[in-house]
Structure 1
């Protein structure tokens, strides 16, 4: 299901950003320019991340799943950014701790019901270390989308239940 909301123009591989603020503003500007979000999205995304950090430490890699309020999303999406050099973000379960995030999944759902379903699917993706490592080696947005498809890795990849 999630692969239906991952668009090539919203997937960036091997990108460099000096910090999370620059990453967030750049992605938000891209989303706005492509018609996925409204003008308030960027500010909402950044302020929400300050109040409720989204960084996660998983095994030996670090992921973040930033998102905004549904009211700021015009068209549902998942924007994937694979970084060449980590940006420092705060942990979800312990905001005082900073972690070096290399994999960022920006969630943008325009209704609360989809938001919960998509969050569950993203959790399944980010817990799949084999998939995450393949994403890091991917050379294109198309390859990332292929990896996220429900048929990749020899069968149903995502099982949010």
Structure 2
């Protein structure tokens, strides 16, 4: 699920939706998701936002149903400066997010498995710091490839 061509560092999006459109657009260009994927993610975020405050870090894990996915993949971006995303815990609150993991999972059981693996990443402050400081997609890939982010 981890593809070097879907790892982006120090992006500076105007807002959350434009970031989701950018990341999802790359997934679509590479054939991993259907044209319906990005609109479905954006619509899902309106009712079920995915911002998480993890202490020192804000993370978002936007995703949608598997019917919009051809092949399971993650698009991961670190941000030059945090953007606001509504909280998964309390949608009336916003979280300052500096890491976004756009998740496309085709396997019906895969979404829960992947979320579980990602929670391990979110609790690993040292790895999050390394990601935040990375200056290339190669560097990001080296850090993330140790985490076994495949859905088996």
- What's the TM-score bracket when you normalise by the shorter of the two chains? over 0.9
CA positional deviation for 1:56:
0.3
CA positional deviation for 1:140:
1.1
Instruction: Extract structure 1 runs of 4+ deviating beyond 3 A.
Output: none
* Superposition RMSD in Å: 1.4
- For 1:42, the equivalent position in structure 2 comes to 38
- For 1:154, the equivalent position in structure 2 comes to none
The number of residue pairs the alignment matches comes to 149
- For 2:115, the equivalent position in structure 1 comes to 119
| 2:22 is equivalent to residue 30 of structure 1 | no
CA positional deviation for 1:70:
0.7
Contact 2:7 2:77 in 1 (8 A): yes
Question: d(CA) in 2 for partners of 1:6 and 1:139?
Answer: 18
CA positional deviation for 1:141:
1.1
- For 2:63, the equivalent position in structure 1 comes to 67
The answer for unaligned runs of 5 or more in structure 2 is: none
Question: d(CA) in 1 for partners of 2:37 and 2:145?
Answer: 27
Of residues 53, 57, 60 in structure 2, which corresponds to 1:57?
A: 53
Higher strand share: 2
| 2:81 is equivalent to residue 100 of structure 1 | no
CA positional deviation for 1:149:
2.3
Q: Counterpart of 2:91 in 1: which secondary structure?
A: coil
Cα deviation code 1:91-119 (max 9, x no counterpart): 00000001110000111110221111111
- TM-score of the two chains, using structure 1 as the length reference: 0.88
Question: d(CA) in 1 for partners of 2:113 and 2:141?
Answer: 19
- TM-score of the two chains, using structure 2 as the length reference: 0.93
Of residues 71, 75, 79 in structure 1, which corresponds to 2:75?
A: 79
Question: d(CA) in 2 for partners of 1:102 and 1:24?
Answer: 13
Of residues 127, 136, 140 in structure 2, which corresponds to 1:140?
A: 136
140-149 or 88-97: bigger deviation: 140-149
The answer for unaligned runs of 5 or more in structure 1 is: 152-156
